[in-house]
Structures are given as structure tokens and as C-alpha cells.
Amino acid sequence: AQSVTQLGSHVSVSEGALVLLRCNYSSSVPPYLFWYVQYPNQGLQLLLKYTTGATLVKGINGFEAEFKKSETSFHLTKPSAHMSDAAEYFCAVSDTGANSKLTFGKGITLSVRP
Amino acid sequence: NAGVTQTPKFRVLKTGQSMTLLCAQDMNHEYMYWYRQDPGMGLRLIHYSVGEGTTAKGEVPDGYNVSRLKKQNFLLGLESAAPSQTSVYFCASSTTPGLAGVGSYEQYFGPGTRLTVT
């Protein structure tokens, strides 16, 4: 069975500071990995995904994540936080077979201080 | 192209009442999903469908029923609402995993329905 661990429920950074949101997963097969963002009162929007190939994945709004198989991690980073980045972020894992489904982490709320 | 839409956006029910949430997608996706989102719990899969006329249970199916009579629609029903079903419900859709290539594992989400059961 797959699982996703997002440590902590809330991260606060200053505008312009580095954003680092951690995600660790467990999967019995090579996984596909996703980060979704949810702005207040909205649905989830895909930020980026890792399927195969390059382990450093770039997404929208300046975010990127690196798949590290040895550490079973897929941490999300952004060099310089912007006020508009304040949202909830979900890491998710999927296996690669037919009828595969997403397993979500519990989410991390990012606050950005002026 | 509207993507995934959900009806209604908000609803308040009394305990024991029934209701149906409607999800519609215009992307010709085979797979559709219903999730519930609760604080500190992330998203949990209620039911899903791999094609018209088929449904399957997810992680938290109790108290819910679903139907997929048309490919573009996926209905979630609560026959007798309970306060524990107060939540935000999200519908999502995707192409068939493994069929159309790696991009098919991405799920597209609707805006959500906020349900309160008193």
C-alpha cells in the first residue's frame, strides 16, 4: 500500500524567503509523484508531477521538486516566496498500474509574511 | 471547455435528509472520483468509476452511493445524512491510467461542494 507523509501542518515564511515543503512516500513500486495546490475556497490545481526521466521537475509559479529515490522523498521548493503563494499544498503518490489511484498526504498550509 | 464542474456549491442538510451531488466533466475522461476533504485529513477517496456503468469503493465509502449512467456525469448520493458527513466534497476525473501515456495519471479537480449536516 502506498502512503504519503507531510510533516507538520503549517509552514510560515517571509516574503522573498525560500519555501521548502517536505514530502516522503512509501510505495512498493516506482511511483508517480504529484504536488497539488489549493487556494482558499477552490479546488486542487496541479503544480508539478514526476513520472519518469529527469528527477528535478519544474512546475508552475516558480516551484520545483526533486525526486530522490534513495530518500523516498519529493520535497517542493521555491527560491523566493510571494504573498500569492499562501495556500494549502498536497503531495500525492500513484502507482503506475491500471486502475491506479492517488493517495494524498494530509496537506501543509503555507503562510507568507510581508 | 469548463473542465470539471460540481453542483451545488453549498448545501445545508438536516440529519436524516438525503441529497445528490452532481459532477460533470467535458474532457471525455474515462475515470472519475469522489473525495472528501476534512481538516488535517487530506483528501480521502469515497468512490470511483473506471467507466460508464461501473463504480467501485474507495477508502471511505460507508454512507454514500454513486452512479455513473453517463460517461460525463458522476453522482454522489447521501441517503440519510449524518453530522459526520459534514465536509467539502471534490470530484475529479482523469484519462485511463497507463493507456494514454504518463500524462494520464493526472487528475483534474472540480471546485468542490461544501456540505453541512446539522
Q: Which residue of B has its CA nearest to A88?
A: B42
Q: DSSP secondary structure string, A3-26?
A: EEE---SEEEEETTS-EEE--EEE
**Of B44, B50, B92, which is closest to A99 when you measure between CB atoms?**
B50
**Chain B CB within 8 Å of residue A90 CB:** yes
**Of A98, A101, A106, which is closest to B42 when you measure between CB atoms?**
A106
Distance separating alpha carbons of residues B104 and B50, to the nearest angstrom: 13
Q: Which A residues in the span 11-70 are in contact with B, Cβ-Cβ below 8 Å?
A: 32, 34, 36, 41-46, 49, 51-52
pLDDT of residue A67: 93
Amino acid at B117: V
- Cα B9 to chain center, whole Å? 13
Distance separating alpha carbons of residues B107 and B118, to the nearest angstrom: 32
Is B43's CB within 8 Å of A9's CB? no
Q: Region B59-88: what's the mean pLDDT?
A: 96
Q: Is the pLDDT of residue B12 over 80?
A: yes
- All residues of chain B having their beta carbon less than 8 Å from the beta carbon of residue A96 are 97-98, 105
Q: How distant is the Cα of A16 from the closest Cα of chain B, in angstroms? A: 27
- Kindly indicate the confidence band of residue B101, based on its pLDDT and cuts at 50, 70 and 90: low
Which stretch of A32-46, A85-99, B35-49 has the lowest confidence by average pLDDT? A85-99
pLDDT of residue B22: 97
Longest dimension (CA), chain B: 45
pLDDT of residue A95: 74
**Chain A CB within 8 Å of residue B102 CB:** yes
